[in-house]
Each structure stands twice: as structure tokens, then as C-alpha cells.
Amino acid sequence: MIKYFLRINLILLLIIFTYDIEAKTINKPKKQIKLKPKQNEKDKSKSKSDIDISRKIEEKQKLLQLKTLEFEEELSELRRKIEKLRMKKEYEQAKMEADLLEFQKQRINAKKDTEELRLKIEQLKAKLEKSQQELQLATFEIEKKLKLSALNAEKAKANLERINSENELNKYITVKKTYPDNPLKKDGTLIISDRNIKLNGVVTMVKARYIVDRINFFNNKNSKKPIFLVIDLNMGGSVWAGALILNAMKSSKAPVYVVVKSMAASMAAIITTLAKKSFALPEAQIMHHQPIIDVQNYVANTTEQEYILKQNKKWAKRFLGKVAKKMGISLDKFIKEMYKNSPNGNWLEFADQAKKLKWVDHVIKGVEYNDISKLPNKLDYTRSKFIKELVDAEDEQVHLSKDNKGRTLMYIDPLPGEIFFIKKHPKIVIR
């Protein structure tokens, strides 16, 4: 922009300088031609020549004046253009100054806005810090309340647990545990310690292994205090399983006593009779009979059936022979007495008569469990649960089924060659 202005000024100076030169030239005083008086012809011709020159000069002067007028007109036009340029320059300069002023104003406003923005930012920062502090304080208060609530909840839970514990403890009666060498009290009550094993349902190999391991466990814990096999209801079972239990009872350092509370039949009766010491409640029943096996359903071959019958007699001699010996009679007499007392050979006696026959050693007045006795829950005493306890859910050899009339039957799946001492019953099937 500055170069542009300098160029215009230079042109103006050049035009003004040229104009001054021409003005001086035009305004230069003209030489006056003095006319001489007429002379001779020679002088006349000379005068004529001067006149022509003067005329030419006048023409040139007129031409010069014309050119001067044209020049002045052009100069005027140029001046107008220069004036226009000057005005344009002044306008542009004024505009530039106005723009500059506007820019400065905007800059001032921007600076003002920046300052206001900075102040707002500072205010927002202050508010944010205050909000953060308030949030931290609120969070602290909430955490405090949560901890207090959690503490109160823990106290309430502890209090509830204490109440539940007290209620639960009220369901138990804690008796001081004793392990007398002679558990039969003078009043005829038998003290059964926590060293007891249930022998209910059917005597199978699975159950026999469990009982044998329990006997060994109690022996390892204490080899002197009595172990009790408690029979609520047992219909007998496998001769192999019964042999395992009898051998464990015989080899046990701690005495193993059998307690019959309801019914001990067949294999369970043999275990009761051959125990080191046995006890029975007055209304408990003991039943002896010969071993049985359904040979027709078990095998089809006659020769194999005869072999199994021979094995059956051998087992009868081994088990029932020992029972007869304890009674003080022969095996043949014992078998005769079986069928004498019952046409089907199921010799069933109550505890008092069983004691006379030496099937049990003591008829007791009652049973006292010397451990923690829990208040009974009615829901635990249902027919289905009782049947499941007799069957043993884990024992796949014994299972329940339905006959064609929808009645529950207990099935025993024998192992190959297995013989049973089990009470004959219409709802107990061996096959």
C-alpha cells in the first residue's frame, strides 16, 4: 500500500513539473516585430517574407494554444483522476483507520471477553472445587451412614443368629457323654453312646462294608469302649454281607453289642444271636429260619439248581449250626423246632422268649442315648423317608418298584451265586 502511494506521488510531481515548464513557455513574452517602412521591391519582398513568417508564427501560436488547451484539458482530466485517486486513497486510508479502530475495538472487546471468560472460568473452578468438596463430604457422610447401617445390620444379624442359636439350642438336650464298660443300668435301661451304627433295612454288601468300616473307625478311636449295632427293623439279607459283619464283630477289640428295638429277622437275627452281647426291648421280635433262594427264577439249569441248594445247606449249617450250639441243641433239632413253631419255618419270638432260647442275652426296660438328642421334626418322619432309610438310596442292590396293583415292592438283585437269610414277605422279592 505504501509503495502504491509513493508511486502516485511521484507521478503527480512529474505532471506538475511538466506543467510548469509548458506554462513558462506559453507565458513567455513574445518578441514584438517592428515594422519598417516600405522600402523598395527588394525590401517589399523581404517584408512579405516577414509577414509570412509572422503568419506562420501566429498559426503555430494558435496551434500551440490549441495543444495547450488540449494539454490543459488532459491535465484537468489527469488532475481529476489524481483527485479521485487522492480521495480514494483518503477513503481507503480512512477505511483502514476505521478497520484498525474496529480491530482495536474488537481486540479490546476480545480482551475484555477473555478477561470475563477467565473470570468465569475461575468462578467455575471455584464452584467445581466447592462441589467436589461438598461431594467428598457427602460421600464421606454416605459411607459413614453405610458403615453405620452395615454395623447395625451386623448387630441385627448377630442378634438374630443369637436368637436362632438359642432357639436351635433349645431343640437339643446336651447330656454329658459317658462310655461305661457295662452300659446296662440296674433299672434295666441300656445306655447307648454315640459309638452306635444303624443296621436297618436289608443286609447287603454295600451296607456291610459301611458297618465294617465304622467298627474299625470306632476301634481306632477307642479299642475298649462298647460299639452298638442298633436294629429298628431288619428283614435279613445276604449271607456274604452277614459274614463280613460277623467277622468284623468277632475281630473287634472293642466289644460290639447288638440292640433290637423292633424286629430282627433272618440274617439280622443270626447277627443278634451270635454277638458278644445282645439286648432287646420287651416287644421286640427275633425270627430265625432257613436260608432261602428262588432257584427256579434264579437259574434254569437243574444241575446248577442242585449245586445252589447244596450251598444253601452249607450256609445253614455254618450259621444256624452256631445258633443251635448256643441254644444247646443240634442243628436238626433246631430245624424241627422251626417248623414245629411255624408251618412255614419262620420261628418268631418276642424278646422274653428269645432270651429263654438264648437268641438275645438281655431284655431291657428302655434305651437311653448318651449324646445330644435333637428335638424331632415332624417332616423327618414320613413313610417315604422311612422306606428310603430301609432301602438305602446309595445301595443299588435294593430298590423299590410297584406291582400290578400299584403296591410298593422291595426288590433285591442278587449277585451271582448269592444266598439270602431273609424273611419271606409278599412285598419283598429276590430276583
Q: Which residues are catalytic?
A: 266, 289
The CA distance from 424 to 292, in Å, is: 8
CA angle at 400 for the pair 396 and 404, rounded to the nearest 5°: 140
Name the nearest CA neighbour of 208 among 232, 179, 180, 241: 241
- Phi and psi, residue 179, nearest 5°: -130, 70
Enumerate the β-bridge partners of residue 105. none
Cβ–Cβ under 8 Å, residues 284 and 262: yes
Rounded to whole angstroms, the Cα distance separating 81 from 75 reads 9
In DSSP terms, 191 is beta-bridged to 368
Nearest-angstrom CA–CA distance, 118 and 48 = 99
